Amino acid sequence: MAGLPAAVDAALGAVLEQVIPGVVRVWNGRGGFGAGFLVRPGLVVTSAHLLAREPHRVTLWTGEHLPAVPVIVEPELDLAVLRLPQPVGPALPLRDPATLRAGSLMLALGHPWGEPYSVTLGVFSGWVTVRTGGPRRTLRLLRTDAALAPGNSGGPLLDAWGRVVGVSAMVVGGDQSLAVPADAVDGLIREGNG
């Protein structure tokens, strides 16, 4: 049995080495920040609520600061796409969340409480439908027990292979977190021709 924890630890470490270069810190004009991830070279997905004030900028994992221009903002989904001045990467692959099973491993990656590139581990708990008050009226969100905190918003929720299944959104009930599913990200980018 001692071999299994070591194998899981090594596998998750390898996944994180792959994905961390595709995760950024998103700064708003108030000095606050959250997370985001590269969905294509030079295109960052994040939470729309992080874009309350200008100027917008991101910090890459290398420490380089870049200006960011919002090209798609969808408040009802709490999603935004930012364009960077140059095509940086790597982009993180998306996974269709419809293929998830209850108990599937989830990794939340972000910058909670100012700690860069922190990771929490949890499982996929299921789906929850929330009212939006907008034209969509309802939104189906992923539910996980991977802990989220301020600074995780907009960051990727990953499967065990490092594919994005959702965008970290909010904490509910203390021990459950919600994420906007990756298929909403894909649809938003296609609609906006990002």
Convert 36-73 into a string of H (helix), E (strand) and C (coil): EEEEECCEEEECHHHHCCCCCEEECCCCCEEECEEEEE
56 catalytically annotated: no
Render the burial of 131-167: b for 16+ CB within 10 Å, e for the rest. Answer: eeeeeeeebebbbbebbbbebbbbbbbbbeebbbbbb
Interatomic CA distance for residues 194 and 186, integer angstroms: 10
Q: Indicate which residue of 47, 118, 125, 153 is catalytic.
A: 153
**Contact by Cβ (8 Å): 58, 180:** no
Tokens 């990467």 identify what position? Answer: 89
Phi and psi at residue 86, to the nearest 5°: -145, 155
78 catalytically annotated: yes
Q: Spell out the domains of the chain, with CATH numbers in brackets.
A: 18-83 (2.40.10.10), 97-192 (2.40.10.10)
111 catalytically annotated: no
The predicted structure's pLDDT at residue 114: 82
The predicted structure's pLDDT at residue 164: 97
Tokens 């992923």 identify what position? Answer: 142
Interatomic CA distance for residues 57 and 60, integer angstroms: 10
Q: Each residue's pLDDT tens digit in the chain (194 positions)?
A: 567 788 888 888 899 999 999 999 998 777 778 999 999 999 999 999 888 777 789 999 999 999 999 999 999 899 999 999 999 989 999 999 999 999 999 999 999 888 889 999 999 999 998 887 777 778 899 999 998 888 899 999 999 999 999 999 876 666 789 999 999 998 888 876 55
Q: Indicate which residue of 78, 118, 125, 177 is catalytic.
A: 78
Q: For 109-148, give the DSSP string.
A: EE-GGG-TTEEEEEEEEEEEEEE-SSTT-EEEEEEE-S--
The predicted structure's pLDDT at residue 190: 83
